[in-house]
Structure 1
Amino acid sequence: MSSPSISLVVRPRGRPIKNLPEDVTVNATDSTAHLFEKIAKGSNFSVHRLRVTKGSDGSPIPNSTEVTVLETGLRNKSTIDVKDLGPQISWQTVFVVEYLGPLLIHPLIYFLRPLIYGTSEPPSQLQTLSLLLVTLHFLKREYETLFVHRFSLATMPARNIFKNSAHYWLFSGVNLAYWIYSPNAPTAKPSNSQITYLGIALFVIGELGNLSTHYTLRNLRRPGSKDRGIPKGLGFNLVTCPNYMFETMAWVGMWLINWSLSTFVFLILAVGQMAAWARKKENRYRKEFGDKYKRKRFVIIPGVY
């Protein structure tokens, strides 16, 4: 027996939406993703550009293949509000553009040293090593973006790409590169080989540990699903977000190699941001999984925070 069809009253919320249908008819057992598709088809918009809420209480209706229209509480003649979120861009594209900045800026400043600094001296071994490690770091990030990460949200407002990219293009791009490859930088001087080797070791362990953690997180989510499991594996018995712990380790290693103030400033900014994200994730795990989740005292650095 087929499920009953229901008619929903559609209202625009905020800016007018041209061609937005005044009503839409769906089956009660249709997924909310199907509802989004019908609204998007009628308005000639992408489903990712639309936010749909219940007219009765303003609660959001998820764009999900696993939630039915009936389960949202909508009934025949219920009202839904549709908001235009504006032009969207995929999260994957944003990440690719973010990490592209350092990959372009570091080689550019490294090879243009004679023009930028007015020096004929060749780059030092530490400067070449720094270029190699920075390049490997962001190539790894591009690889993860394209082949490892699964994004819970498909898109973000297109205008956010400038704000999101500024952190990487300016702080880990121009800021790091200009001072690391300067003829007056600590990297231009002879190195303490023991400290340099320690920095390389921390960098390699951090990068490999970070990659391993990202694969663990990827495997918690089925393709096309927003559901997550409780993460277990390397580092998860120590902190909430071992991916951030290993990221911190890698950048500490980078700092021990180049001793640049700009690297230290970037490290502090990055750790501060990751710590805030990790605390939010710990709170979400506790709320989502309840007693099934073993609460963590430290979220990013064991024994510290």
Structure 2
Amino acid sequence: MSFKIAVSARDGRTILPKGEKYITLADKDATVADLKRGIADSRPELYTARQRLTTVAEKGKKGTVLEDGKKLAEYGLTNGDTVVFKDLGPQIAYRAVFFWEYFGPLVVYSLFFFFPYLIPEEHGFAQKAALTFWVAHYAKRIAETFLVHSFGHATMPIRNLIKNCSYYWGFAAFIAYFINHPLYTPPSTLQTVLALAAAFTCTLSNLRCHLILADLRSPGRGGYSIPRGFLFDYITCANYTAEIWSWLFFSLATQSLPALVFTLAGAGQMAVWAAGKHQRLRKLFDGKEGREKYPKRYIMFPPLF
């Protein structure tokens, strides 16, 4: 028996061609993903990654976002019911965005170092050491993008690519220009060596944190659990902590104000994300009805935050 679902925009207009109102599905066990594919078949430009579907909002309540893997019946949808469609706009894969975010700074910084017509300068030890850390850091990020990280969503709006690349590429040029400038005054060799050793240690700690988080998403874990082990026993967003400290030590190793500005800008954004994640974990693991209680931990930057 066929199963029909009406699809409309938030203003009530149908989004299907030729004034059609319904998408016809095979049966009542159809999933949200089946419905999205039906919409995409009807309007190919609205591929499934561009679609967000919700139930019709009731008075005083927002509609519920429909998740791909669930059946329509799980949301109480029956034959002839309506779902609300939103076009998320052109999308791009998360991994593609992350790759270009990180590949760009690696290239941009290297251009300022290797091409003397940009900045005619014989590089000293601090500048060579800074390049080594910079390249290693972003090479690690690219490797993690393909080998470690998993993403809750496959895509994001393509406008994020421009915004994120502008941030990373722009800061790379800003930092590289001043560190490789003929008037740059490096710190002592001892300061550079000790601070970069600490920065590399923090970078490896960040990798360790990411491996712990990746394990939480591995098959067979049976849902999300509280991150544990290493720095996570004390800090909710330990990966952010290690990331921030790595750039603080890089700023010290290069004695670079632009690098410190970059560090503080990133730390501010990570603090917002960390506070949100800490709140979600405390709400999810509230110790009620048999649920585990989230342990007392710093959010991101002990002992201040």
TM over 0.5: same fold?
A: yes
Gap change, CA 1:296 and 1:163, over 3 Å in 2: farther
Of 5, 9, 20, the residue aligned with 1:8 is 5
| Paired amino acid for 1:48 | A
> What is the distance in 2 between the residues matched to 1:298 and 1:99?
29
- Please say if 1:197 is aligned against 2:201: no
Give unpaired runs (5+ residues) of structure 2: none
The CA RMSD over aligned residues, in Å, is: 2.4
1:81 aligns with 2:78: no
Contact 2:55–2:63 under 8 Å retained in 1: yes
> Does residue 64 of structure 1 match 2:61?
no
Q: Work out whether residues 36 and 63 of structure 1, in 8 Å CA contact, stay in contact via their aligned partners in 2.
A: no
Change (3 A) 1:226 1:32: farther
Out of 194, 216, 223, the residue aligned to residue 220 of structure 1 is 216
Task: Assess if the C-alpha contact under 8 Å between 1:51 and 1:60 holds in 2.
Answer: no
Q: Relative to structure 1, is the Cα distance of residues 81 and 228 closer, same or farther in structure 2, using a 3 angstrom cutoff?
A: same
What is the match of residue 185 of structure 2? 186
8 Å Cα contact 1:40-1:46 kept in structure 2: yes
Match runs of 1:1-305 below 5 Å: 6-13=3-10, 17=15, 19=17, 22-26=21-25, 27-44=27-44, 45-57=46-58, 58-65=62-69, 67-113=70-116, 115-117=117-119, 119=120, 121-171=121-171, 173-187=172-186, 191-222=187-218, 227-291=223-287, 292-305=292-305
Shift of 1:202: 1.4
For 2:57 and 2:129, the matched residues in 1 are separated by 60
Count of residues paired in the alignment: 294
CA–CA separation in structure 1 for the residues paired with 2:30 and 2:283: 29
TM-score, normalised relative to structure 2:
0.88
Q: 2:10, 2:33 → 1: CA distance?
A: 19
**Contact residue 8 and residue 23 of structure 1 kept, 8 A:** yes
Percent identical among aligned pairs is 34
Distance 1:230 1:31, change over 3 A: farther
* 1:282 to 1:262, Cα distance in 2 relative to 1, 3 A: same
Q: What residue identity is the alignment partner of 2:5?
A: L
- Give yes or no for contact 1:9–1:24 (8 Å, CA) kept in 2: yes
Corresponding letter in the other structure for 2:169: W
Q: TM-score, normalised by structure 1?
A: 0.88
Deviation sequence 1:106-127 (CA, Å, 0-9, x none): 11011223x234x4x4111110
Secondary structure of residue in 2 paired with 1:149: coil
What displacement does 1:215 show? 1.1
Q: Say whether the 8 Å CA contact 1:55–1:78 is kept in structure 2.
A: no
Q: 1:71 to 1:158 in 2, by over 3 A?
A: same
C-alpha separation in 2, matches of 1:25 and 1:228: 35
SS in 2 for 1:236: helix
User: What amino acid is aligned across from residue 77 of structure 1 in structure 2?
Assistant: G
Separation in structure 2 between the aligned mates of residue 139 and residue 209 of structure 1, nearest angstrom: 16
Q: Is the 8 A contact 1:255 1:264 kept in 2?
A: yes
SS in 1 for 2:17: coil
Cα separation, 1, equivalents of 2:51 and 2:64: 11
Partners of 2:295 and 2:63 in 1: CA distance? 30
Q: What are structure 1's unaligned runs of at least 5 residues?
A: none
